[in-house]
Structure 1
């Protein structure tokens, strides 16, 4: 009798809590590939060009939102602008966290970066610090530096065109180290560039999905390095050293020059100047400046290399676009001069080339995933708390309903009948730089530095497919290497000054900046 009473009470308690659970519990998960017990979709998960597989699954399932599960981890893929904007923008209060990233943040020391850290007070403080110096008006202060390093870049292309990727990387480093720290980059073997490149390579290896088991079983981070299978711990220790050097080396140099009164204006100098006027804890604030400056380098370097390499590849794919852009520049920019930022409004086709380059082969096809802090209900589907939220930016920017012939390089898609940028065509920027509270705060500076580099190259260089010793055209493969920042597979191109006057302009401007 007593056991029956206890059982009845238990059933009543279970029934009570069952009926009190949120209504979203009854909602189904978004559709997705069939899941196996315990491991879910672990065996289905792609290891390369994941965005294409996700897009194919969405089309097969007739849904622009799908759900995957990998060993208990909930993953939501958003395959359209509508879904990504509604969840990550309109529901940003609960979808702005980051996945845990045990290897990178907890073992390799990248938890200093507000691009990778969890959503919270420190993230807000660093983002606010960044935005103070890089809103559109403030970012204009750095345009003279962007012009100077671009002109130096043109001279390096003129002297050694075959090593164009190396020169693009040098341009990227010169731009961001100058903006972040006021540091001039050496031509070769620059210690700040070398330190950052080692750190960025290790970051790419550490953040690669599915490589390290510790991401699925975080408790493994506590095993000692000597334990069998703990090679990831030894790698993490070495890679953590790289991230520390990258964060500290340029900052110490910049601070030294600031104290000596020889520093060039930079994010660090502006931020420390304001810090001296504040009343908050100086050591904590200074650490925040150091971390934010290092985050800038992390986000800017590889993306610049990717976009400018893709631009060159695009000119090989569509030489008529290059000719049209050059005609536009010639009609606007006075002979013997380089394009200026003030010319941008009168060079809409050049701007269209930049937009199409960034859309055609976007740098980060899946962006950096968000994470949900609580359960959500969307379109009648349940989004579990703790879900990894993956915006398929590649699919958004290759939606044929928005961008007809999406796999073709067509800058003219952004030009209206009046010859200006057509506001009716969705700007790729709305997806390229992320969503919601995690949108890239450096997007204005990033676009401006890419624009001036592209406009300047078009003004003085012809870009064409090279020929071999037998006169045969060497065709590029148009293949890409998947990574944190996707880059074209190595390809050859012919970069030649458009005229003797163009060559003289390049040399003259380079000597002026030296």
Structure 2
């Protein structure tokens, strides 16, 4: 005979659990409902996810939204206020990284400290990186930044149609020189070619949400020949590229040092200072990983930002003209800009800030991981959640940036033309958050600044015309990924005067 008391207790317990679960779900941040088991896996678009996250944030009237990806809780942060509260003020809880099986295991990027857990290994690598790229140290690289910027002008003069290739060469030349002391070839440099393939791999594999294996890790064990396992085959190819970027330039430096031919560089300094009682093999792995990480960060920012600058100047010629007027007034037409001009060129600096806001290099910050339960605005944020900063939403928030899709450098300026000091936090969002903010941002911004100032001084950027004289409009489309770039577009680079050619040649010789 059934014990009615036992039945009553079971029913009561079931009801209590049901009420608890409903209350718990109601206390989570709002978000799309999803389906059983898989949750919101099919709600997230494969490309430009940040647009969907921003739309949901508006739809649910919440600056944090919640997604369930096959049982993995995901919290997306869509406002500067929430980002500051969580990533900055509560950084101890939000500084860990999510382990992405596609990137960390299948593509093999465990060496990259950007994607490492918040622990001793990360601290060691961050400390090494900071030694060479903190704000004061980065000033020492300005002569090389000036040199590669003037080489860029020469390349744009000779073959303007290949401007994106020239940007990659500029970025590669700078980073390879600083980190490895390698002088790249004028064209078709093997180190740059290898790194570009690896950069594409990291951008795609590191795009959280793009691969189902990141949320259903058991899929990493699926054989590569299995139907639907194309991601495994792709990862194997990408791993070859990332391994090559990690190993080849490092081996070139060690060989040059053995032969007494090494140029000054980060790696040469680190290896020279290595003490005899230290674990040489382990330290070399640390150093090679830090150097490769420097390449991925610095190169991506320069190429993406300058590509967006070229596009913006085609779409907003009046702004191009305003910036050129300032450059002409301060620098004149008989020399090229250098870093000593920066304090006197606030409009150019505002233009750089607007490029980084208008089309952020990384629209979604690399995901963080919440290490314990937390509460924000009354919402329960579960321990273990993937927490993603939506950089795009923050930098396109109409409350801070009216008409956010418009390119308006003036938003960074006071009425007297000086730079606004109250916009600093918004600018930093372009480089991540909290303790995991990009440590190479000083060098990256300086490289972009001198590139933009140099181009404005020497060229008019114009929409080209076809054979019938019709203007060719740029599409304005972008590639989606961890790092975004403009899709191919045409741009005419017209020297601003007859003396520009001589000025560029002289500047190249002087650098």
Q: Please, which runs of 5 or more residues in structure 1 have no aligned partner?
A: none
What CA distance in whole angstroms lies between the structure 2 residues aligned with 1:337 and 1:436? 40
2: CA distance, partners of 1:489 / 1:198: 17
Q: Note closer, same or farther for the CA distance 1:236–1:494 as it changes in structure 2 (3 Å cut).
A: closer
How many correspondences in the alignment? 506
Alignment of 1:27-38 (within 5 A): 28-38=27-37
Q: Deviations over 1:55-101 (max 9, x none)?
A: 11111111111111121111111110000111111111121122221
Q: Counterpart of 1:179?
A: 178
Q: Check the 8 A contact 2:40/2:67 in 1, yes or no.
A: yes
| Superposition map of 1:323-338 within 5 A | 323-338=321-336
The corresponding residue for 2:97 is 98
Secondary structure of the residue aligned to 1:111 is: coil
**Partner SS state of residue 387, structure 2:** strand
CA-to-aligned-CA distance 1:91-128 (integer Å, 9 cap, x gap): 11121122221121112210100011222111111011
Corresponding residue of 1:475: 473
What residue is the counterpart of 2:497 in the other structure? Answer: 499
Q: Residues 279 and 133 of structure 1: is their aligned pair in 2 closer, same or farther, counting only changes over 3 Å?
A: farther
Q: Between 149-158 and 411-420, report the one with greater CA deviation.
A: 411-420
**Pairing of 1:48-127 with structure 2 (within 5 A):** 48-127=47-126
| CA shift for structure 1 position 493 | 1.4
3-state SS, counterpart of residue 327 of structure 1: helix
Q: Which residue pairs with 1:313 in the alignment?
A: 311
Paired residue for 1:486? 484
* Residue 281 (structure 1) aligns with: 279
1:358 corresponds in structure 2 to 356
In 2, the alpha carbon distance for the partners of 1:415 and 1:213 equals 44
1:267 maps to 2:258: no
Question: Shift in Å at residue 206 of structure 1?
Answer: 2.9
Identify the residue that residue 301 of structure 1 maps to in structure 2.
Answer: 299
1:369-392 deviation digits (Å, cap 9, x = unpaired): 111122112222111111111111
Q: Deviations over 1:252-296 (max 9, x none)?
A: 1122223434333222123223334x8542322221111000011
Distance, in Å, in 1 between the alignment partners of 2:227 and 2:465 is 53
- Contact 2:50/2:390 (<8 A) preserved: yes
CA RMSD, aligned part only? 2.7
CA distance, structure 1, for counterparts of residue 434 and residue 338 of structure 2: 32
Question: Is 1:188 aligned to 2:167, yes or no?
Answer: no
Of 406-415 and 25-34, the range deviating more from structure 2: 25-34
What does residue 222 of structure 1 align with? 221
SS in 2 for 1:201: helix
TM-score (norm 1): 0.92
Query: Could you say what secondary structure the match of 1:349 adopts?
Result: helix
Matched, 1:464 2:462: yes
In structure 2, the residue matched to 1:198 is 197
Distance 1:275 1:176, change over 3 A: same
Partner SS, residue 337 of structure 2: coil
Residues 27, 382 of structure 1: 8 Å contact kept: no
Q: 1:191 to 1:53 in 2, by over 3 A?
A: same
Q: Give the corresponding residue for 1:443.
A: 441
Give the conservation status (yes or no) of the 8 Å contact 1:31–1:66. yes
**1: CA distance between counterparts of 2:262 and 2:63?**
51
Could you say what secondary structure the match of 2:499 adopts?
helix
Is the contact between residue 402 and residue 426 of structure 1 (CA under 8 Å) also seen in structure 2?
Answer: no
Which residue of structure 2 lines up, in the alignment, with residue 374 of structure 1? 372
**Separation in 2, partners of 1:353, 1:96:** 31
Deviation at 1:207, TM superposition (A): 3.4
Structure 1 residues 54 and 281: alpha-carbon distance in aligned structure 2, compared to 1, 3 A threshold:
same
Instruction: State the distance in 1 between where 2:172 and 2:357 align.
Output: 23
After superposition, the C-alpha distances for 1:120-156 in whole angstroms (9 at most, x for unaligned) are 1111110111111111111111111111111111100
Is contact 1:64-1:80 (8 Å) kept? yes
Partner of 2:38: 39
Conservation of the 8 A alpha-carbon contact between 2:125 and 2:286: yes
Counterpart contact for 2:80–2:426, Cα < 8 Å = no
Moved more, 115-124 or 350-359: 115-124
Match of residue 165 from structure 2: 166
Quickly say closer, same or farther: Cα 1:209–1:309, change in 2 above 3 A. same
In the superposition, the TM-score normalised over structure 2's length comes to: 0.92
Question: Which 10-residue stretch deviates more, 83-92 or 212-221?
Answer: 212-221
Deviations 1:448-495 (A, max 9, x none): 010011111111111111222332222222222222221122211110
What are the superposed Cα offsets for residues 375-424 of structure 1, whole Å, 9 maximum, x if unpaired? 11222211111111111111111111111221111111112123211113
Distance 1:49 1:215 in 2: 17
Tell me, yes or no, if the aligned pair for 1:109 and 1:240 is still in contact at 8 Å: yes
Compared CA separation, residues 259 and 25, structure 1 to 2 (3 A): farther
1:355–1:428 CA contact under 8 A, matched in 2: no
Given that 1:98 and 1:370 are in contact with CA atoms closer than 8 Å, whether structure 2 keeps it comes out as yes
Output the CA distance in 2 between the equivalents of 1:355 and 1:451.
Answer: 9
